[in-house]
């Protein structure tokens, strides 16, 4: 029978192309955002983060863009490689949240990136 579960968005690209993975976040008070990469059988791995006082931040082959007006976050991967194939998660939090909310991340469902050689 058909399996029931999360239906993650998927993105398929050719090796060498640029990839853009999008994320809509929910809390307008969130001011710290992180992108994680999760390969099969492994834990989520930190890629890049951005704070709300910035709208763009660049790392090695990756760029994160933040649009607070529409609560949208994107991860751009330049010259995508087969090793970039993974599930990518965005996460958000409020760095000034008090009490038990302090430090808690809210994760998106994830996007599956497949890179074809």
- Indicate whether 75 belongs to the interface with another protein (CB under 8 A): no
Q: Rule CB under 8 A: is residue 117 a binding residue for another protein?
A: no
Choices 16-24, 55-63, 67-75, 102-110 (CB under 8 A): range interacting with another protein? 102-110
Query: Which range in 14-22, 31-39, 54-62, 78-86 contacts another protein by CB under 8 A?
Result: 31-39
Q: Which long-range contacts (CB under 8 A, 24 or more apart) does 80-84 make?
A: 80/13, 80/14, 80/15, 80/16, 80/17, 80/18, 80/19, 80/113, 80/115, 81/15, 81/115, 82/15, 82/115, 82/116, 82/117, 83/115, 84/19, 84/37, 84/113, 84/115
- Window contacting another protein (CB under 8 A); options: 1-9, 10-18, 59-67, 70-78: 1-9
Residues 49-68 within binding reach of another protein (CB under 8 A): 49
């Amino acid at each position: 029978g058909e399996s029931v579960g999360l239906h993650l968005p998927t993105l398929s690209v050719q090796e060498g192309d640029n990839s853009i993975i999008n994320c809509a976040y929910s809390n307008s008070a969130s001011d710290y955002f992180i992108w994680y990469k999760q390969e099969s059988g492994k834990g989520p791995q930190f890629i890049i983060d951005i704070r709300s006082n910035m709208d763009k931040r660049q790392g090695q082959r990756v760029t994160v863009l933040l649009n607070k007006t529409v609560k949208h976050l994107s991860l751009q991967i330049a010259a995508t490689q087969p090793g970039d194939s993974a599930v990518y998660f965005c996460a958000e939090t409020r760095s000034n949240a008090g009490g038990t909310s302090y430090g808690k991340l809210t994760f998106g469902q994830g996007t599956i990136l497949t890179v074809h050689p």
